Structure 1
């Protein structure tokens, strides 16, 4: 384990080890603006990061685990980089996520009801007249009836 001091810059591999985030992902985060670009390199050319990047990466991981997109996270971090606490923006993003989840739950409940209704009327051996013009009469019975009503 690498010991972290407040003033000792860390190589990208050390950051990866300490954060649990791959070097490739850290480079990607730097590329898309989630991490402050490194201005310093070691004499051998390694990227060097301020240890405070660990706090930033921890925030990114937590925000992603709550469903925030990298774009949303970047906007939040930009607010912080301007010297403001982004708690209001974070709250707004989380409220939007909760509403989206509520809508998904409602849609899933409708789907569950439809599936339960279909299964309640399931026939393991549909009649031969039903089977003649369908792939699975149990599944297509409703759509076949709707089609006949349309045409």
Structure 2
């Protein structure tokens, strides 16, 4: 089975991209690439002869895009590292467990945001009614 982020065996799979081009292809900055390398999420290619510029290939682009998409789904970088390792071992049960954990966290965030929206809606309605005293919205956020 092919890994999620590669390998890519087309004509573009040879290492032809500089770090800035990889960053652009992945929609991130160069420093993000370097950060992912320090975290072990992306490999740091060896320099060519006489310290030539490092080159990246399509596999690196695919892996970078996987990382960004997983972040978009709410996974932490630690969880993404585990997902990348799991893919190599095809551990579907653990990957499913991680996904279910993210779903539970997202559900909790939705519940908290729904509660906050409901409270703010009530305050806005009270504010619209007018009446004496301070604005209920301002009063709700005043510690004093």
TM-score, normalised to structure 2, is: 0.68
Q: 1:42 maps to what in 2?
A: 48
Q: 1:97 maps to what in 2?
A: 102
Inter-CA distance 90–79: structure 2 relative to 1 (3 Å threshold): closer
Compare CA radii of gyration and give the structure with the larger one: 1
Inter-CA distance 47–105: structure 2 relative to 1 (3 Å threshold): same
Q: 2:115 maps to what in 1?
A: 110
| Structure 1, unaligned runs of 5 or more | 142-151
Distance 1:56 1:97 in 2: 20
TM-score, normalised to structure 1, is: 0.66
| Structure 2, unaligned runs of 5 or more | 1-9
Instruction: Give the 5 Å matches for 1:1-150.
Output: 5-38=12-45, 40-43=46-49, 44-80=51-87, 83-122=88-127, 124-126=130-132, 131=133, 136=134, 138=136, 140=139
Considering Cα pairs closer than 8 Å and 6+ residues apart, tell me whether 1 or 2 has the greater RCO: 2
Inter-CA distance 137–86: structure 2 relative to 1 (3 Å threshold): same
Distance 1:10 1:89 in 2: 33
Tell me the number of residue pairs that the alignment of Structure 1 and Structure 2 aligns: 129
The Cα offsets for residues 106-149 of structure 1, whole Å up to 9 and x where unpaired, read as: 233333333333444445341xxxx4xxxx363559xxxxxxxx
Give the alignment's Cα RMSD to 1 decimal: 3.0
